[in-house]
A and B are shown apart, each in its own frame.
Chain A
Amino acid sequence: MVLNDFLHLMPLLILVMASLIIMLVIAVKRYHKIIYIITLLSLAAAFASLFEIGYIEPYAIAPLFIVDGFGLFYIGLILLSSLVVAMLSYAYFEQREERKEEYYILHILATLGACVMVISTHFASLFLGLEVLSVSLYGLVAYLRTRERSDEAGIKYLILAAMSSAFLLFGMALVYAMTGAMNFAQIGVALSAFQETSLILMIGFGMMIIGIGFKLGVVPFHMWTPDVYEGAPAPVTAFIATVSKGGMVALMTRFFMETDGFSYPTLVLIFTIIAIASMLAGNILALMQNNVKRILAYSSIAHLGYILVAFLAGNTMGVEAVTFYLVAYFITTLGAFGVVTLLSDEERDAEQLEDYRGLLWRRPWTAAIFTAMLLSLAGIPLTAGFVGKFFVLAAGVRTELWLLVVMLALNSVIGLYYYIKIIAVMFYQTNVVRERQALHPSAYLVSGITIALLAILLVYVGVYPTGMMQVIENLTLSINAPAL
């Protein structure tokens, strides 16, 4: 490795250093506020270091990584989301008994894993990144050990994630056995040499899809989602919903574009079925729920289905649509879970629909922001979610994926029902106010400001998406997708 390599990996190195520093600081003295500040600073520094790296020329660190515009954009997205989650975490963990400080180490390591994933071009680095992310998440999901559902969620996630990793690994081994390559581009070259696709290769890809599908939480690999969302602490749930899934989407996009996976009708068919099943199952199952975190879990299954529609478009516009939708989805999901975090108290998270009864009259600003987030998830204009959904539909219509597009429209309507249900609960009149022990108001200041910023961003992207689209258009150029 030369000096330039280190320079291009600077964001990752900063994260590694940060995790070490935090560990040492904890060894000296446990002090929540200082650890918190170190975390924020290092995430911000990692993000700032991105601007030192030029995106025009992709920089390959053979054979594992490629630092290109696409990767940089996703690293930036992941770092910012991670920063937001960290900002929300302070007030949330401060009011709880457990040891809070190690949370931030795991948080930074998970972020690191996701960052590694989005710039990897090799099976080895892919798996490395994925495992760093997953192993950190095992700890994070079960972090509040004393809570009722925490163990269940943690163990469920551990077993299923480990199993899916095994599938992924086996799949990669089969693909390697057939193509003799582990680098994405080389696999693509080797694949194009085949006259007909062999069965073993297809099994290999199929197993990889299982591994990928699990991380994305798409049907039929979605079983863990609602339980883990419910059991994990609210900030961790936000992290899983955004960073973990977003990293995998980026990786999947890169892998399929590099290996030209869309030229195999079988794979396209599998993804089509997964997309439709995810949209339908996610939305229909969400209808029955009374738990806000579970509703958001099922809605995230549906949203990943929407993203797959754009992904299946398989062209430049598709990649842009996936990216834009992810940005909108990140803002919205972080905002929604941010509100859940903000309203949570010492004993449990604000997850029952009852907790939101009459919120519009008790805390009008919080309720207004939550309403905006839900409307964005439903894809209503003036919000980022609308532009994202429009983008995805446009990509689908352009490639004439009529079935998927109509399913998406239909599902948006089903989805509307449960989003509105939450909104309706918020404006019921109520006299019962749940008493809660609050921290000093300043503890909530950071969380409040974070959520308000997200809301402003949501409306800004929704009303004036041009700027964001320009950035995405420039940065995703490095993915060589077919023009149409």
Chain B
Amino acid sequence: MILLWMIVILMAGGILAWLSGRVNDLLPRWISLLAILANLAIAAWLWLSEPATAATKQGAWLVQLNMEWVPQWGIGFDLALDGLSLLMLLLTFLLGALAVLVSWNEIYTKVGFFHFNLLWVLAGITGVFLTMDLFLFYFFWEVMLIPMYFLIGIWGHENRIYAAFKFFIFTQASGLLMLLSILSLYFIHANNTGIYTFNYFELLGTSFSPAVGMWLMFGFLAAFLVKLPVVPFHSWLPDAHSQAPTAGSVILAGLLLKTGAYGLLRFVLPLFPDAAQEFAPWAMLLGVIGILYGALLAYSQTDLKRLVAYTSVSHMGFVILGVFAFNELALQGVVMQMITHGLSTGALFILAGFLYDRIHTRNIEKMGGFWATAPKMGVIALIFVMASLGLPGLGNFIAEFLTLIGSWQAHNWLTVFATIGIVLATAYSLRILKKVYYGHNITDHIIHDLTGREMLIMVPMVVALLWLGLYPQPVVDTAKPSIDEQLQAYTNVPEDRTISMEQPQSINQPTDSLSQLKTKGGAYGLK
């Protein structure tokens, strides 16, 4: 029930915030903040109270909730929480709370409606991370979109309508392809077993011919790769990110992109093991192209938010590279990358927002020398820029390091090229620092240093990132059971993939994850 409460708190808080917006501007802000903090407290409590690595009898699943919704079609209101979801939820609520704080002095028009949309995006994201019913998953997947569309379209920058349109149509189109795949899977399962259900655990064992599996997987991939985004489908991202208000950018970069990565981990890997392995080299290639292309474009941007947006493209390349390496190390790296990228990129967007507040431009050609008057901001920017280029000691290093070690085992050459991406990351990251904080101030503005509220936003992110960089073990422990679970179908696969494709028995694994005892260390068989 506690899982449902998290969604209900956000949705009810959103409605309350909208209504209270009529009274005054301050009330919606406090209501949203309290709602999100309440959820953060619930999630933290769940994390602390669960013995993360202890194998409970439910396998990787910590909490579950099953309710009927549309029984005629076998649609259930099924929520479940495992380590992966839990980590994602913690990130969601942390960034959500920061998004409210960031908007405190930025949003002055239609405050109530703004916070309504903010909380409903978060509710949709929470739903996506929790749901174990494919219909419900699609439902929440779409619920995220509308409020996000409003956030960009109403409170965005000068070209907001165009950006909002593009965002909406890209994600909606790809989502519909996923819906077709979900429906096909549903009917294939029904034809095989006679049971009509959208339940994730039931559908896991569905068997189909390789060609059908490939098509179905492409349907899912369409949605996730657009959301992630992977390079040919990324063009909505720079527009949406740069036009959105700061809170919107933080949520887009920090959370919405992660739903794509989460979808890959949760659905594509376990549902289509054969097709995924066949597609893996191409997916990893796309990842590497994304890493290099994103980095190159980031280097050539003059719009600060656009620059950060392209770094997201580059960093998300590591995610798809790691996911399709199919081993535990890489997946740990991916989970880590999802969290640390959420923090570091979110922080960079927030910093861009702070600068925009002060000098009303995002053009880095017009910036420079801000360190002199705003040393605190400079130091904090330095930390996040270092995180973005992967400096050891900060979380992003752990993430990229793990991903690269993992993907090396899967594909040597692509990993080499991916590593070049880190060099490029150094170039564009240092360029931010050089252009904005070093040199001479060429504007008429005197840049004020960070205020107390702004420090309150930045310091927790710095602490979190340092903690993840210095002691990532709790996160790794929490994520491990669910990563093992996602990799179940791959654990017995020999390293040579050409053989594995001729051995269909790999899909005849007992697939009901709830009854399956974890094969501890199975993934290490790959090494």
A interface residues with partner B (beta carbon < 8 Å): 361, 375, 380-382, 386, 390, 393-394, 397-398, 405-406, 409-410, 412-413, 416-417, 420, 424, 427, 464-466, 469-470, 473
Contacts and interface: CB of A to CB of B under 8 A. Distances in A.
Contacts of A393: 179-180, 183
Contacts of A386: 139, 142
Given A413-B172, A420-B165, A473-B72, 17 more contacts: A361-B110, A381-B138, A382-B139, A386-B139, A390-B135, A390-B179, A393-B180, A394-B183, A409-B176, A409-B179, A416-B172, A417-B165, A424-B153, A424-B164, A427-B150, A466-B71, A466-B72
A321 to B, nearest CB: 11
Interface string B110-127: 100000000000000000
A397 B146 CA distance: 26
A393 B184 CA distance: 10
B180 A409 contact: yes
A466 B183 CA distance: 18
Given A393-B180, A398-B187, A466-B71, A416 B169 contact: yes
A413 B164 contact: no
A413 B176 contact: yes
Contacts of B142: 380-381, 386
B463 interface: no
A397 B212 CA distance: 14
Query: Interface SS of chain A: helix, strand, loop or mixed?
Result: helix
Interface in B119-169: 135, 138-140, 142-143, 145-146, 149-150, 153-154, 161, 164-165, 168-169
Interface of B: 69-73, 110, 135, 138-140, 142-143, 145-146, 149-150, 153-154, 161, 164-165, 168-169, 172-173, 176-177, 179-180, 183-184, 186-187
Contacts of B184: 397
A382 B143 CA distance: 8
A185 B101 CA distance: 69
A254 B258 CA distance: 49
Contacts of A390: 135, 179
A362 to B, nearest CB: 13
A382 B149 CA distance: 16
Contacts of B172: 412-413, 416
19 contacts: A381-B138, A381-B139, A381-B142, A382-B143, A393-B179, A398-B187, A412-B176, A413-B169, A416-B169, A416-B172, A417-B165, A424-B153, A424-B164, A466-B69, A466-B70, A466-B71, A466-B72, A470-B72, A473-B72
Nearest to B174: A413
Contact of B72 (A375, A382, A405, A469): A469
A412 B177 CA distance: 11
A465 B70 contact: yes
**Interface pairs A-B: 7 shortest CB-CB:** A409-B176, A413-B173, A397-B183, A381-B142, A381-B139, A466-B70, A427-B154
A10 B154 CA distance: 53
Contacts of B146: 375, 380
Nearest to A472: B72
B145 to A, nearest CB: 8
A412 B110 CA distance: 30
A473 B72 CA distance: 10
A405 B73 CA distance: 19
B110 to A, nearest CB: 8
Interface centre among B71, B169, B179, B184 (most CB of A within 10 A): B179
Contact of A417 (B169, B179, B187): B169
A245 to B, nearest CB: 25
Contacts of A417: 165, 169
Contacts of B154: 427
A91 B172 CA distance: 38
A383 B276 CA distance: 34
Interface centre among B69, B138, B168, B177 (most CB of A within 10 A): B168
B187 A406 contact: no
A469 B139 contact: no
B161 A424 contact: yes
Nearest to A387: B70
A397 B216 CA distance: 13
Interface centre among A410, A424, A470, A473 (most CB of B within 10 A): A424
A436 to B, nearest CB: 24
A398 B140 CA distance: 24
A78 B73 CA distance: 27
B180 A416 contact: no
Contacts of A464: 69
Nearest to B70: A466
Contacts of B70: 465-466, 469
A416 B71 CA distance: 29
Contacts of A416: 168-169, 172
Contacts of A381: 138-140, 142-143
